[in-house]
A and B are shown apart, each in its own frame.
Chain A
């Protein structure tokens, strides 16, 4: 190694310490992503493929509306399940494991603030969830595309006599309206946003949990309560009955500890053919950003004082 090279390395190392460095965060995020990829998590794609192909084969005798709906239901259901599992289990598995294995020692004894470590881990998990959802979406959309064209051909074949061009156009319109459409992307985005909130929940829990199992169980409990939270609030504080400041305060605290995850379930409406207003998508994105910020902050407050 030349003296010049040594000098350039020294310059990089001696450059002033930054309180926040995106490159350090990205190093941790990419390392987390690599870790999960090398744990062979993408094998789940095989299960996903079997599920959606199975949904096709099993429901061949249904009407085309039912068949396309079932395909979308199964696909979105599987995407939600896998994305949630990756978010919760991935986060719960990695941070407590770093602490148990003392891998964290070698990271935090480098000039890495604890906040960067947490953000890096969270980003790595979110990156993995995004890539898996992208791959599942490609597979899902491809199967849907092939199936809707297959259904069209089958329906035309079953028509008596020679169908007119108008009849074919009308049929195509009916089938395609329930097949591959832009609205489905909103569904995938909503699944991602819900998974991101679930990952942030697991991040908070993992900062004070003593084991991976504890983190998974507590995160899953919060996740399920999050789906029933709005119902419970409606029951105890019926709309128009939330007058007192105390009631509002309690409702606010509950909403922060148990985020309303039911609000992210827009896929049922999409599969039934309803459109999702963009204002709702913006609201969901904003809500996810809020929860990510709050939960990351709480995680940092707990983790900053943690004795390792």
Chain B
């Protein structure tokens, strides 16, 4: 699938300047930014608040226009409405029509994507199952929790079978179990060969799911590359042993000390993450998940 497709996203020398009302100054939100995302890749866009992540995404989705530079989605300029046919978007803190039920919400977005009645029915059931909201399909969104709203948001983003999914802070305000569900869904998308652009403040999550990462700071792309390459410490080697006794550890330490120029930086017990501990202690369940049924 991936081989036949052109570059999923190509952003070239993108600059976006916002004029300030009644003032001469201007805000440079994105400054000559270039990046490309390959088909089937999960790309993480990280950076502090106000660094230009959301602006870049908005240009890519045609919500705002670039001051200069260009952006394309599968070879088509993102200023063309047709380019949105292959894109699914989950905005940060998504607001949908609260008076619609979960099933009606997906059906509405399905119609906007050009699906016919029969296809909408099938797609709605399929997506509600995927995001584990089948039990809440006839409940109005006004009664959904934050995590459920994020998942229905993900379902609407996927209704048009997009080749590219753009997720802006998909786990913001969601509890660890809900967050894990969304992360699992991203992994499923990856397995299906769908390209994902993910913007998140949760660096651990980005680290878990992304193939490549771009770091934006003050509108500029300051680092970009394969996650493995970016985070590995090139002059250090890690050995993790199971059931190793103190004698063995002493032998290893002595062996290391015999080598000139080699230092044992640290040794001790590896730690689990707080998230893993939380999920273990709470049975991996969440209030959201219980609400679904």
A102 adjacent to B115 (CB under 8 Å): no
* Interchain CA distance A24-B85 in the complex, whole Å: 13
A105 adjacent to B65 (CB under 8 Å): no
Our pick among A34, A38, A109 for the contact of B89 (Cβ within 8 Å) is A109
A13 adjacent to B161 (CB under 8 Å): yes
Interface centre among A1, A28, A102, A111 (most CB of B within 10 A): A111
Q: Which residue of B lies closest to A37 (CB)?
A: B99
Q: Which of B16-43 contact A (CB under 8 A)?
A: none
Q: Encode B107-126 as 1/0 by CB contact (under 8 A) with A.
A: 01101111110110011001
B99 adjacent to A38 (CB under 8 Å): yes
* Interchain CA distance A105-B157 in the complex, whole Å: 11
Q: Which residue of B lies closest to A32 (CB)?
A: B97
Grouping DSSP codes into helix (H, G, I), strand (E, B) and loop, the A interface class, with mixed when no group exceeds half, is helix
Q: For this complex, into which size category does the number of interface residues on chain A fall? A: 20 to 34
* Interchain CA distance A27-B110 in the complex, whole Å: 10
Q: Which residues of B contact A108 (CB under 8 A)?
A: 61-63, 84
Q: Which of B34-54 contact A (CB under 8 A)?
A: none
* Interchain CA distance A122-B160 in the complex, whole Å: 25
Q: For this complex, into which size category does the number of interface residues on chain B fall? A: 35 or more
Q: Which residue of A lies closest to B166 (CB)?
A: A109
A31 adjacent to B119 (CB under 8 Å): no
B122 adjacent to A27 (CB under 8 Å): no
B97 adjacent to A21 (CB under 8 Å): no
Q: Which residues of B contact A112 (CB under 8 A)?
A: 81, 84, 112
Is residue A9 contacting chain B, with contact meaning CB distance below 8 A?
A: yes
Q: Which residues of A contact B87 (CB under 8 A)?
A: 109
A105 adjacent to B63 (CB under 8 Å): yes
B96 adjacent to A106 (CB under 8 Å): yes
B119 adjacent to A9 (CB under 8 Å): yes
B99 adjacent to A109 (CB under 8 Å): no
Q: Which of A1-49 contact B (CB under 8 A)?
A: 1, 5, 8-10, 12-13, 15, 17, 21, 23-24, 27-28, 31, 34-35, 38-39
Given contacts A13-B161, A103-B97, contact A111 B112 (CB under 8 A): yes
Shortest distance from the beta carbon of B101 to any chain A beta carbon, whole Å: 11
Q: Which residue of A lies closest to B157 (CB)?
A: A106
Given contacts A12-B119, A34-B99, A103-B97, contact A110 B63 (CB under 8 A): no
Is residue B82 contacting chain A, with contact meaning CB distance below 8 A?
A: yes
- The 17 sampled A-B contact pairs (Cβ below 8 Å) are A5-B119, A10-B161, A12-B114, A13-B160, A24-B114, A34-B100, A102-B95, A105-B63, A106-B96, A108-B84, A109-B63, A109-B84, A110-B109, A111-B82, A111-B112, A112-B84, A308-B58
